[in-house]
C-alpha cells in the first residue's frame, strides 16, 4: 500500500513524500527546503520521481531546483509567480501517479492560484493534499484572495467524503485549537481534540493528517453556518452576524489578531 510520509522542514512545515515500497521513485509535495528531503532520500535509498506544488510561496518551493534532475516533472498551478513548473494544472485536470490519479481542485484564497490535489483511491482512505488552504482547526491567511473566495474554496473541500485524510503543510494545530476554543468554548469535540493533540506534540508526533469528518466538528472556518459560531462573532465584533460569508470574514479577521490567553 502506498504511504504518505511527513518530513519536517523549516520551523513548522511538513513536506509530504508519496511513496511505495515497490518503487525507488517518490513524489514530493511542496518542498520548501531540499535539505531534509535529501537526508530522507539518502536514508531510505530513494530518488525524486516528481514534485507537486500547491502554490508559489517560498516555504513551499525553495527546495525544488535542488531536488530536480534534468527531466523531473514539477506540477503546479497557473501563473508566473514560480518559474520552475514543467506542467501547469488547474481545476478539473488530472495528475496520474504510479499509485493513484490526483484530481486538481482550484482553491483560491490564500493565494489566487492555489490548488489542491485529491485522490479518491489508491490509499487506505481518500487523500487531500491542500497546502495552506485548509489546516486542522484552521485555514490559511488571505494574502491574495478575498473572504468570499476562501469560503467557496473551503466549501468545495468540505464536500469531499468525510473520511478524506487532510494533509496540510503546517503544524499549526495547537494554535488553531486555542482559537477554536475561544470561538466555541463549550464545543466538546474541540476540547477532546486539543487534549489529544497536546499529547501528540509532547511526544514530538505530528497532529496530521486530520480528516474532514473531524474538521466539520472542530474547525470554526468550516462552521460559519453554525449558530454558536455566528453568535460568538457577533459578541466579539458587537454587530449582528446574519450570513455565512459575513461570519467567515469576521472569524478570519478575529484569528488574524488572536493571541491565546496563555501566550
What residues act catalytically? 55, 57, 59-60, 110, 132, 170
Backbone φ/ψ region at 166: left (φ over 0), alpha (ψ -120 to 50), beta: beta
Of the candidates 98, 134, 141, 136, the one whose C-alpha atom is nearest the C-alpha of residue 115 is 134
What is the grid cell recorded at 122? 489508491
Measured distance CA(211)–CA(204) in Å, rounded: 20
Amino acid at each position: 500500500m502506498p504511504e504518505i510520509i511527513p518530513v519536517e522542514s523549516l520551523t513548522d512545515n511538513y513536506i509530504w513524500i508519496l511513496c511505495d515500497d515497490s518503487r525507488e521513485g517518490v513524489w514530493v509535495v511542496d518542498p520548501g527546503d531540499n535539505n531534509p528531503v535529501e537526508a530522507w532520500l539518502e536514508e531510505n535509498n530513494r530518488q525524486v520521481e516528481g514534485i507537486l506544488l500547491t502554490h508559489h510561496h517560498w516555504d513551499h518551493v525553495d527546495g525544488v531546483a535542488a531536488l530536480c534532475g534534468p527531466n523531473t516533472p514539477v506540477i503546479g498551478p497557473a501563473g508566473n509567480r514560480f518559474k520552475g513548473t514543467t506542467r501547469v494544472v488547474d481545476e478539473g485536470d488530472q495528475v496520474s501517479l504510479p499509485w493513484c490519479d490526483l484530481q486538481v481542485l482550484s482553491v483560491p484564497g490564500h493565494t489566487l492560484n492555489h490548488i489542491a490535489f485529491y485522490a479518491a483511491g489508491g490509499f487506505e482512505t481518500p487523500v487531500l493534499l491542500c497546502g495552506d488552504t485548509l489546516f486542522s482547526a484552521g485555514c490559511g491567511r488571505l494574502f491574495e484572495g478575498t473572504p468570499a473566495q476562501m469560503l467557496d474554496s473551503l466549501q468545495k473541500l468540505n464536500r469531499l467524503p468525510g473520511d478524506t485524510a487532510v494533509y496540510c503543510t503546517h503544524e499549526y494545530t495547537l494554535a488553531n485549537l486555542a482559537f477554536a476554543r475561544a470561538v466555541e468554548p463549550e464545543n466538546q469535540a474541540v476540547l477532546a481534540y486539543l487534549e489529544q493533540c497536546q499529547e501528540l506534540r509532547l511526544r514530538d508526533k505530528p497532529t496530521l493528517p486530520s480528516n474532514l469528518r473531524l474538521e466539520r466538528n472542530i474547525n470554526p472556518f468550516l462552521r460559519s453556518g453554525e449558530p454558536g459560531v455566528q453568535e460568538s462573532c457577533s459578541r466579539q465584533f458587537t454587530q449582528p452576524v446574519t450570513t455565512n460569508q459575513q461570519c467567515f470574514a469576521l472569524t478570519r479577521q478575529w484569528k488574524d489578531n488572536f493571541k491565546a490567553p496563555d501566550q
